[in-house]
Amino acid sequence: MSGPTIGLALGGGGARGFAHIHALEAFDDLGLRPNVVAGTSMGAIVGAAYAAGMSGADVLDFAQERFRNRLRLTADLLRMKPENARQFLDHGGLRLGEINVERVITVLLPRSFPTDFRHLVTPLKVIATDFHDRSEHVFESGPLIPALAASSAIPALFRPVMVDGTVYIDGGTTNPTPFDRLSGVVDIVVAVDVCGWPRGTRGMRHRKLDVLTSSTQIMQQSITRAKAALCRPDILLKPDMSGIRIHDFMKLKAILLATRPLRETLKKELDVALERHAASCRAS
């Protein structure tokens, strides 16, 4: 008898999404591979790398190399086409809300990264938000990079992304951790939620950017709780994201260290879920 099908849902959270690497490594440790992956924002990017055939170790090695040197990374971003490079600098500063996220993703990903969903070895669902229709949209075919950009277009940081005449923004505004998109599709649904929460204590003053991002996190947590109440995944893990901001991409080592327990926890949870499924099959 063949084993159960497994779906992996990876949530959005900017730099916090590096924690997803532990989830990929957990699957690799057990010799398992998800039958389908769903992701939002950073979760979609990491999920796309995995769906392209990279192992957890491959993703880790690339991330360590890419984010090792801040100056080199900045230089690579600024070597984009002039009209796009100008979106990064405005009289020496950053023009929030005008950054071309598709160009950023293109620069950050491996040069050999697949450009179309059909080139992936594992089915992938990328979650974005249709801005004018005010609804969730799932990309499953066609050009891959525009879909990842649409899923990652965080308002007030990146400009919206237009795909086939439709304007899209960050998928986290409608479905931060898209485990519900795997319900009924596979036997076992695994979800990793990397949304953070407001930092600091009562009475302290917060920077405007922190207030903006924390407000978004509060909204996303509410969405995830509501979805989990209606359609809870078999495994839902939320690693400790305290003190980690969405833009802390140069803190890869610290993020991986803080979230390291995720790897072993997921392995244990998967073992239990697999045994439960096997017992259910024997009983029937």
Between 103-107, 162-166, 180-184, the lowest mean confidence (pLDDT) is in: 103-107
State the pTM of this model. 0.90
Amino acid 84: pLDDT: 47
- Mean pLDDT within 84-111: 68
- Mean pLDDT within 183-212: 77
Four-residue CA torsion sign, 277, 227, 16, 123: positive
Judge contact between 139 and 147, C-beta under 8 A: yes
The band of 85, judged by pLDDT with boundaries at 50, 70 and 90, is very low
Judge contact between 40 and 11, C-beta under 8 A: yes
pLDDT tens per residue across span 127-161: 999 999 999 999 999 999 999 999 999 988 899 99
The chain-wide mean pLDDT, for the chain, equals: 89
Between 162-171, 235-244, 266-275, the lowest mean confidence (pLDDT) is in: 235-244
* Cα separations in angstroms, 106 against 149, 167, 253: 9, 19, 23
Amino acid 69: pLDDT: 86
Helix (H) or strand (E) holding 188: strand 188-192
List alpha helices for the chain, DSSP H. 20-29, 42-51, 56-66, 70-78, 82-85, 101-108, 144-152, 208-230, 252-258, 261-283
Two tokens, residue 17: 């999404």
Ramachandran angles phi, psi of 132, nearest 5°? -80, -30
- Mean pLDDT within 29-47: 97
